[in-house]
Chain A
Amino acid sequence: MVKTAHKLQATELDRRQASPDNAGKKPCMRQFKVIVVFNQAVSQGWMLIAFAWPEDLGPPVPGQFFTFNPQGLQAGDAGLLRRPLAFAHYGRGLAFALYQIRGKATQALSSFPEGGSLDLIAPLGNGFPLPLLGEQALLAGGGIGIGPLFYLQSVVQGSDTSTNASSLPQYPASKLFLGFRSATQIPSFTQAAERWLRQTQSTDRTQELFANDRQPVLAGLADLQLCLDQAYIATDDGSRGFKGTVVEALLHEIGLADASLKTLNAHLFACGPTPMLAAVDALALEQGVSAQLSAEQWMACGVGACQGCVLPARAGGYLRACADGPVFSQGEILWKA
């Protein structure tokens, strides 16, 4: 249906991985090339990228991430290390990721042409565990950390029709809370879809190039927009939704006066800036409920070898964001070390 991801030249290792002995095991991380089919701005300084996912890998787990090799940058210009991005959506053979233009590598990625091929290592890290039956999943995302929660929400709600969603157990409707600095940061996937359609229909070449990807891309964007439309919004400046932090919005909505998180049988899932993760961690401890927190950290290898991306562990020592995380359980990390 969509263009198949191009694997780098097959090696002995690939043949061994593909052997029947490995069938049914957790998908191995792999280095491969993908064709970028979508790479558009979705709000001020925020971008969404989508690419064909190798069919034989199986879907990534929400909370997992990939690393890409920055293209068009020289080693002397911040192009030496790979950069990690979390999956924001997966469906119909396409994987999506949200990113913010922050430094040279994300700046370069933002101008990476649709149709170009990007070198990835994926899937990496440990994703979010799914909530247990009967648990009330409360998802909180802050800033660019909202990406993995979109994906988690779509899996928990079974809105991702391309996977075996019908076979998933039914959960109480999970609630998604998203925090932004201001309304200008809130993405519009609908507008991005319109712009992409106009651009890809502009010439015969792009029409042909993207003909097969049109439906999966638009469906993915529609899924994301639906998730966003159903989410509770908080902004720091009050320009949209609740005025305050995403954690304050969550507490306000739940109305803790009459219901504690414990009686709700709540399970918290969060990704965002460190102060926000610290707040969710503390809230879960105080209320005696489970929480899963996805951390962000600078990385070099992304696979657990270099020990560069560590976070201080509450039990002493350090944990690697890439291989022990990026999703940690409540109480594992000392956020304010």
Chain B
Amino acid sequence: MMRMGIRTLKSAALALAVAFAAPQAMAQEVIGVTDDEILIGALGVLTGPLFRNGKTIYDGVETVYNEVNAAGGIHGRKLRYVREDDVCKPDQAVPAVKKLIYDHKVFLIHGGGCSNASLAAKPEIEKAGVPWVITASTAPQLTDPVNPMIFTTMLAGWMETAGQLQRVIDLGAKKIAIVAQHDAWGESRYTPLLDAFKAKGMEPVADEELSPEATDATPVALQLQAAGADAIITVLFPKAAAALLRDMYKIGYKPIVVGGSAIGDIKGLNDAIGIDGALAKFQSLFPTKSPLDPSEDVQKWKAAVAKYYPDDEFMVWHMFGIASGQFMVKALEDAGRDLTREKIAKVLATTSVPDPDTYAGPIACTPEDHQCYKSMAWFALKDGEQVQVGETHLSQ
């Protein structure tokens, strides 16, 4: 009877072998492009604690694609968007990107939200020669040195942190401290922030850590107060930021606090803390306009996202995707009907969208610089409303 086991095993193995050996789909002229469809892959985090960094962005991208498709597509082709989850981890990103390239056979990749995962995926994408437009990963080494096929429509981590530092200096701060969460997300901003200090010949007066799950930040608040910091740059998610702001207020310590793109909803943060005045000297920077912006540009996309993703609550993250989607659509339109990967990469390298609906500034690529976005806007709470209080544009 033992032999039967082996026979079963044998036939199973044979069946598998046949399945794998079956001729691959007929080679097309251009991978991922048919007469009526362009297949675009998204690589990023769709589930788990960091899903905002991916899923909501791709909902934004796909909203743009859906609208374009509804209006007839691009040069007679519809855009189809397939997503693969990297769970924000390199070990999941490598199979995800291989699946996109060799299994789904996408024309190009439009996505990438976690720096470590994107860095792990990069060699495979480079090797396969697939064009890649990054939507949210902030590691500068993804596009610097320039790779002819790789572009990003997201602010690099160092730009955000350099912007934060410049802002607190402009606001008149002398003794500046850092509070960071030391995980992969925090790291992609924390080290560049230290570099930004160095570039200005400055030293943070305190460099504290707060866990993303922190519920009490009194020790951190006390350390900052003891260091005499008059301004604080946070590299924190909203949960830890709320604890920090509340506990600083509690001990009667009221420095300037500058947050980053993870805190896109200052009003919501204020509601969570519930203390009037805890956010009096708080400002946050995002690459986008405010999701609460009443202008037609933002509101029409908010409505569109609500139409396609009724469960989503409209956030800054959607706005990353929408701006990036508009950029991609522009490039595909400019490239014409005869598409190849090399051609679209060439077109991407000179594509610009002077006024994306949801971004604070222009997206513009040049052949020498594939870091295609360099603007940010500043927001604060005024009379209970989230209002824009400034913009920073780094030179192209």
Whether chain B is bound by chain A comes out as no
* Residues of A participating in the B interface, judged by any CB pair closer than 8 Å: none
